[in-house]
Amino acid sequence: MDGSFVGQSGDRQAMREKHRRRIIIVLTCIVCVVAVSGIFTFLINSFLNKEYVLYEVKSSTETTDSKTVTYMDYNGKILKYSRDGISVIDASGETVWNGSYDMISPAVNICGDYVVAADIEGKSFIVYNGEEQGKEIFTEYPIVQACVSSQGVVAVLLEQESSNVINIYNPYDVSNNLLVEIPTNVDEGYPVCMDISPNGLNLVAAYVCVTSGKLQSRVVFYDFSDVGRNTNCLVGARNYDGHVVADVRFLSNENVCIFSDDGFSVWSDMKKPVQLYAKTFKSNIKSAFYNKNFIGMIFETEDGKMQNHLRMYNLKGKKALDIKFRDDYDCVRMYDNDEIVFYSNSKCMVYRKNGVKKFSSTIDAKVIEFLPTNRLNRYYIISENQIQEIKLKK
């Protein structure tokens, strides 16, 4: 009896001790997880809120043609073009691909790997895909504007004697490169801007006209699939009475942003366009920027200390950022990494999407372009005399 009782008591004590050790281990693990999570969160926040004021030059290439050349971002590399040709160069200044032409007034549009170079007021354009020689197309009428899709399909606005026409081309279809011809209605007004969807199946164009002595804009949506062909490609339209639409841009295959003099609106479903939301503002709009995730506006302020007011919205219309800043700028853009890039003749700045200033520095040269690279914390500063790849540092 006594031996059996002592054995059971010892077993219970051993079980309690084992249970206690398990609790200690669990609590220790929880504390470690919380500590590691806290440290990880601290490091992430420190990285996301880190501000750089200095940079080091990783490579530099001398230039002699900066006054006659235009520079653009091309998938983290630099695209440059002029009257006599186009090329893409990397950080070391090496040519990735190039093409020659003779244009009086070239204009370039990029979508993915495809590039269209069009001779404005001329009658030719060339499409490049970064691998093959350019595909040149000659038009019957002078070119007003051209834009390219990520498939190489090109929309070209042509100016006829009494009206205009929008032609859709596939330069890679040898048998039939003119896919669609859209005559513009004189009553709709004069087309001022347009954009083609990345998949090449839709087009949006803005027209300006005077009705009853008042200026107004009309935005028209076109669809080139079987759905649109049943309605002569026209699938939707919207009048903007008393306002001027300054630009139209596809944010994706299904989302379009319409920029007007008093704000912007986002549309979706290009087979039967519907407005998702619209934002109008009373303040004077200085600049607009966008990428596939956000649309931003910068306004003048009456604040003597902060002369710029930036508001940014996501595609659902929710305000994603609202900040004021005093720095002056000449150009602003937003890239796919959600960074907002500013520059003037003598200064470059980068803001993160959370409103934290990532980089700000005065540049000892006249800045022509400030572009991102495809590497973390590296950018291109293009000045009158050189192209520099820089790396940010504290």
Degrees (nearest 5) of the Cα angle 235, 239, 241? 180
Share of the chain above pLDDT 90, in %: 69
Q: Could you tell me which residue, 227 or 183, shows the higher pLDDT?
A: 183
How is the chain split into domains, by residue range?
200-280
pLDDT in tens, 149-198: 999 999 999 998 888 999 999 999 988 899 999 888 766 788 999 999 99
The pLDDT of residue 42: 44
For the chain, the helix, strand and coil percentages under 3-state DSSP, each to the nearest 5: 15, 50, 35
Inter-residue contact 308 to 301 (CB < 8 Å): yes
How high does pLDDT run on average in the chain?
A: 89
Whether residue 232 is predicted with pLDDT greater than 80 in this model: the reply is: no
- CA distances 353 to 129, 324, 342, 356, Å, are 31, 14, 13, 7
Cα 348 to chain centroid distance, Å, stands at 18
Spell out the residues 6+ positions from residue 324 whose beta carbon is closer than 8 angstroms to its own.
301, 303, 306, 308, 309, 310
Mean pLDDT computed over 352-374:
95
Mean pLDDT computed over 222-251:
87
Share of the chain above pLDDT 70, in %: 89
Mean pLDDT computed over 287-294:
97
Pairing assessment for the beta strands 340-343 and 331-334 based on DSSP bridges: antiparallel
Q: Could you tell me which residue, 228 or 60, shows the higher pLDDT?
A: 60
pLDDT in tens, 105-115: 999 999 999 99
Mean pLDDT computed over 140-149:
97
pLDDT in tens, 13-45: 767 767 777 777 767 777 666 666 655 444 454
The pLDDT of residue 8: 60
The pLDDT of residue 87: 96
The pLDDT of residue 41: 47
Predicted structure pTM score: 0.85
